[in-house]
């Protein structure tokens, strides 16, 4: 089941999912784990802008999440959003990423109660290499529009960042 993140009871599980990538992966450039309270503040900030933050549940447990936030804060960028998806590392490649992203994109297409409406463009910003994430974005119609070489340094190596774009 996919639903909106709806209560502070989700925040601990969201932080748990995300912190795996903070500590063990380059999918995020954060290097310090986040608390449940900090994660909930992030959810509230996104939802407070009238944008979706979705969670996927399987047998009553949150197994992943996806959301879209502003690409940049300047007014001319308001119709372009940056999308994000994270899955429990034990359920990757089980279809949850596709399900979450499909629902997220559908909600963005229907968005009419936000300063970002209508959403014109969605960007996936991916640390490379992450072939599963690249495949997910391309399967959903995103196109590679550029790469910034050695944009970040984490886990003792330089990491490129690729940009994938979907014009809705």
Query: Phi and psi dihedrals of 40, rounded to 5?
Result: -65, -35
Model confidence at 9: pLDDT above 90? no
What confidence category does residue 143 fall into, taking pLDDT thresholds of 50, 70 and 90?
Answer: very high
Q: What integer pLDDT is reported at residue 112 of this predicted model?
A: 82
Model pLDDT for residues 55-65, shown as the tens digit of each residue: 999 989 999 99
**The tokens of 62 are what?**
């949150």
Model confidence at 113: pLDDT above 80? no
- If one compares 55 and 112, the residue with the highest pLDDT of the two is 55
Q: What integer pLDDT is reported at residue 166 of this predicted model?
A: 98
Sign of the CA dihedral running 158, 152, 137, 55: positive
Sheet of 157-167: strand order equals 2-4, 53-58, 61-70, 80-87, 121-128, 157-167, 143-154
Task: State the CATH number of the domain containing residue 84.
Answer: 3.40.630.30
Mean pLDDT of 99-123: 92
Model confidence at 92: pLDDT above 80? no
What confidence category does residue 53 fall into, taking pLDDT thresholds of 50, 70 and 90?
Answer: very high
Mean pLDDT of 76-91: 94
Maximal CA-CA distance, the chain:
44
What confidence category does residue 116 fall into, taking pLDDT thresholds of 50, 70 and 90?
Answer: confident
Segments forming the whole domain that contains residue 94: 2-167
> Among residues of the chain, what percentage have pLDDT more than 70?
98
Q: What integer pLDDT is reported at residue 114 of this predicted model?
A: 80
Mean pLDDT of 29-56: 95
Q: Where do we find the tokens 């748990």?
A: 16
Residue 5 belongs to what H/E stretch?
Answer: none
* Number of structural domains the chain divides into: 1
What confidence category does residue 117 fall into, taking pLDDT thresholds of 50, 70 and 90?
Answer: confident
């Amino acid at each position: 089941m996919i639903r909106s993140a709806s209560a502070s009871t989700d925040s601990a599980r969201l932080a748990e999912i995300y912190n795996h990538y903070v500590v063990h992966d380059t999918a995020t450039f954060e290097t310090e784990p986040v608390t449940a309270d900090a994660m909930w503040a992030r959810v509230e900030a996104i939802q407070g802008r009238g944008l979706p933050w979705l969670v996927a549940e399987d047998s009553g447990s949150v197994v992943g999440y996806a959301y879209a936030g502003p690409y940049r804060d300047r007014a001319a960028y308001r119709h372009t959003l940056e999308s994000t998806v994270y899955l429990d590392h034990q359920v990757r490649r089980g279809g949850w990423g596709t399900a979450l992203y499909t629902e997220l994109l559908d909600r963005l297409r229907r968005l009419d109660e936000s300063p970002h409406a209508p959403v014109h463009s969605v960007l996936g910003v991916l640390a490379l290499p992450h072939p599963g994430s690249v495949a997910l974005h391309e399967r959903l119609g995103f196109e590679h529009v550029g790469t910034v070489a050695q944009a970040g340094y984490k886990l003792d190596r330089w990491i490129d960042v690729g940009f994938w774009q979907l014009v809705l």
